[in-house]
Structure 1
Amino acid sequence: MNTRPEHPNDDRLILSGDLTIYTVAETLNRLRPHLGEHPTGELDLSGITELDGAGIQLLLWLRETARLRGITLRLSAHGSVVDEVLDLLQLGDLFDPGSADAAVGDEA
């Protein structure tokens, strides 16, 4: 799993590769500092090539952690792999970039 900011001072992180049980711990270690340094942020998920239950758990944890910290975290640019898994688990509305709940931290 690769995580990188789009630009050096950007709040947008691009995730690419697998987000699975084999990569989720490394991905979490890379994301934690970013969450601590940015009061807002965006995760671009278009480069995800494989997503399993552990990856979904990480996304749910990130969403809840951001909410508790008052961080605005947007999950954007879902690729077909992410869309397929979210639809299968009926979580599409929770992570849909166009939904009211997609911007975590904007909730009351």
Structure 2
Amino acid sequence: MPLKHTEHNGNLLLTVNGGLTIFQAAERKPELLHALSLASRTLSLDLSGVDEIDTAGIQLLLLLKRETERNGLQLEVAAYSPAVLAAFDLLQLHFMFNGETASQAEGAA
């Protein structure tokens, strides 16, 4: 499923749905990197529609984080799915994406 994006004043919201696994990695990588050229200040990710993520998906997110910094942009995650929260919990990556842990998300619900 292609990525959806909306742009407003240099801020790009990128909506990712479906899987972020090794099976989608080759398709998603050029789409994610192309999104960088569309943003001029901030790239926001909506990961609430990600139903499956593995280490290949995590690598894509880390690549996107590195490339946004290299291009002088900010990367923020606007929304997380339970699958993404679980992966970030397991790998302790919340600090890199300014996210909450799964237990914090459950407490807020």
Smaller-chain TM-score bracket: 0.7 to 0.9
Structure 1 SS opposite 2:23: coil
CA contact (8 A) 1:45 1:78 kept: yes
Check the 8 A contact 1:2/1:17 in 2, yes or no: no
Three-state SS of the structure 1 residue aligned to 2:18 is strand
Which residue number in structure 2 is paired with residue 25 of structure 1?
26
Residue identity over aligned pairs, in percent, reads 38
Aligned length: 96
Alpha carbon RMSD of aligned pairs, Å? 1.6
Structure 1 runs of 4+ with >4 Å offset: none
Q: TM-score, normalised by structure 1?
A: 0.80
**Which residue of structure 1 aligns with residue 106 of structure 2?**
none
Could you say which structure has the higher helix fraction? 2
Cα distance in structure 1, aligned partners of 2:17 and 2:76:
16
Aligned-partner Cα distance in 2 for 1:28–1:22: 12
Once the two structures are TM-superposed, the CA of residue 97 in structure 1 deviates from its matched residue by: 4.0
Structure 2 CA distance for aligned equivalents of residues 97 and 86 of structure 1: 9
Partner AA of 1:21 in structure 2: I
The separation in 2 between residues aligned to 1:36 and 1:2, in whole angstroms, is 17
Q: Which runs of 5+ in 1 are unaligned?
A: 99-108
Q: Runs of 5+ in structure 2 lacking a partner?
A: 101-109
Q: Report the equivalent of 2:75.
A: 73
Determine if contact 2:76/2:98 at 8 Å carries over to the other structure: no
Letter in structure 1 aligned against 2:95 = D
Name the residue aligned to 2:107.
none
Q: TM-score, normalised by structure 2?
A: 0.79
1:29 is aligned with what amino acid? P
- 3-state secondary structure, aligned to 1:22: helix
Partners of 2:88 and 2:99 in 1: CA distance: 12
Q: Which of 89, 93, 97 is matched with 1:87 structurally? A: 89
Q: AA paired with 1:17? A: G
